[in-house]
Structure 1
Amino acid sequence: MFIHINSGIGFRDFITQMVRSKRARTYLEVGVRDGATLTMIDCDAIGVDPYFQFTVNPAGKKRALYLFQETSDEFFRDRDVKAIMAKPIDVVFLDGLHQFEYLLRDFINSERVCHSTGLIMLDDCLPVNAEMTEREHRPEKRLNADLAQWWTGDVWKLVPILKKWRPDLRITLVDTNPTGNVCITNLDPSSTVLKDNFYKIVDEYRNIHMNDEVLQKFYEENEVISTSTVLNGFDASYVVGP
């Protein structure tokens, strides 16, 4: 079984440091769950999740926090994000449902409300093994019992999708522990390419499945940058504009 280890710092510490390095004023998180990541963010923030299960105080040191207990589709359909924050979003962290079409929709909707010099980060796109990329989490069927509780789903597909359909984006794969982070900059909030071709893209990638050979090829074709390189000045941390 092919195994890829992401040996960088934990994803929450990485996200926190990226938000600070961007000098972000506004932050959006989809897939808040227990609030463990959101609580570490200090700037004004929006949190979206269909079922909050807070184990910490998500407000932390924030001056303002807006929570929406609904799906991301409902949120982007019914809410005016720029009106809530009175400005575009500087940093987004997407950690919602682990099926690629949902993450693709979240990316489309997030880019639309972002600052052009902002940053969107995708979670779980660098799977450790092929088994965890199943569309439904079935730990009892896993061969690798040690990693049976890990589930990334097939959101790894966002990497080839964005590289093919949005070559204008700057896409940086980062080795955050445990299942990676994809940093996306050079955003274009006016772009409709992904929205206009959404169903074509979904049809194209729906029946592509990960196995050891596909996983190994994925890492051969996509360079993964260390967290230390990114945090020490790599231009994925370019400071947001006015």
Structure 2
Amino acid sequence: MSTVSSVLQPVGTPVRLRRLVKLSAMLSAKNYLEVGVSHGSTFFGVDIPTKDAVDPKFQFDVKSKIKAGIQFHELTSDDFFSKLDWSIKYDLIYLDGLHTFEQTYRDFCNSLQHIHENSVILIDDTFPNDVFSSIPNQRLCGELREKFGTPAGGAWHGDVYKIVFAIHDFHPGFNYRTIVGSGNAQTLIWPSKSGWRSPLFKSLEEISRLSYTDLLESYTLMRPTEEDEALSLCISELLKK
């Protein structure tokens, strides 16, 4: 594993790709899974020997992208995981599928069957930039933005943010940090024995009913952290094992 400062990247690298490239280098990752590939803007930029791409409908010509070490799975993430051999493990997993808490949490739980003690999971879109962006329905998000004149760049995150509270309460064997201050917020998750905590919610159902206002009131539970600090903490804890 390497340090954050030792990872060099071209100026102007998109924020999502930048973080994945840093992580892949720091982990010396050999196996990568991306759920929610769409046009492949992050997937094809990550240089890892073995990569699996999952999306119900790829927005590119799959045949032109076929090469050794890359597998394309054009199906839902539920179907993908149901068919995936349990012996397969990934060093780095990126979850950027449906912008709903329920599906993202299901993808996270399924991913746990395919990690090892030094694996890292990165979840996209975990902090909406306003109340409209937090609406799970993309169409409704757009309609309300237009109605109330608050475009906010057209951003849509859905209610993925709830997964951070679920991880806090139901997965104490994992530490996490939500990367903020340098582009779209994402949550970094890794196996750890140093982040143990007591649950704060009565049930998963209670978490599913949290609102954008609840998110703001419980902001510290997101464990907001600057990018390089979050990455360094993650790697330093993994190195202690």
Provide TM-score, normalisation by structure 1.
0.78
- Residue 67 of structure 1 deviates from its aligned partner by 0.5
Deviations 1:49-85 (A, max 9, x none): 000002899959x740001000000101123264xxx
Contact 1:31 1:95 in 2 (8 A): yes
Contact 1:118 1:187 in 2 (8 A): no
Long gaps (5+) in structure 2: 1-13, 194-201
Q: 1:70 to 1:88 in 2, by over 3 A?
A: same
Distance 2:64 2:29 in 1: 17
Distance 1:151 1:76 in 2: 26
1:11 equivalent in alignment to 2:9:
no
Distance 1:74 1:207 in 2: 27
1:112 equivalent in alignment to 2:113:
yes
Long gaps (5+) in structure 1: 1-8, 189-199
Distance 1:118 1:12 in 2: 18
Contact 1:26 1:91 in 2 (8 A): yes
Query: Could you tell me which residue of structure 2 aligns to residue 71 of structure 1?
Result: 76
- Residue 141 of structure 1 deviates from its aligned partner by 0.9
Q: 1:119 to 1:185 in 2, by over 3 A?
A: same
- Residue 126 of structure 1 deviates from its aligned partner by 1.5
Query: Could you tell me which residue of structure 1 aligns to residue 224 of structure 2?
Result: 224
Contact 2:182 2:227 in 1 (8 A): no
Secondary structure at 1:91's aligned position in 2? strand
Secondary structure at 2:97's aligned position in 1? coil
1:180 equivalent in alignment to 2:185:
yes
* Equivalent residue letter for 1:50: P
Contact 2:86 2:113 in 1 (8 A): no
Contact 2:175 2:190 in 1 (8 A): yes
Distance 1:227 1:122 in 2: 14
Secondary structure at 2:112's aligned position in 1? helix
Contact 1:39 1:57 in 2 (8 A): no
Query: Could you tell me which residue of structure 2 aligns to residue 164 of structure 1?
Result: 169
Distance 2:64 2:131 in 1: 33
Distance 1:131 1:122 in 2: 20
* Equivalent residue letter for 1:230: A
Identity percentage of aligned residues: 27
Distance 2:63 2:203 in 1: 39
* Equivalent residue letter for 1:78: K
Query: Could you tell me which residue of structure 2 aligns to residue 46 of structure 1?
Result: 52
Distance 2:227 2:157 in 1: 20
- Residue 230 of structure 1 deviates from its aligned partner by 3.3
Q: 1:209 aligns with which of 188, 192, 211?
A: 211
Deviations 1:147-190 (A, max 9, x none): 262111001001111101112211111126543111111179xx
Q: 1:234 to 1:110 in 2, by over 3 A?
A: same
* Equivalent residue letter for 1:204: E
Count of paired positions: 214
Distance 2:115 2:184 in 1: 25
Question: Relative contact order, CA 8 A, sep 6+: which one is greater?
Answer: 1
Distance 1:28 1:176 in 2: 26
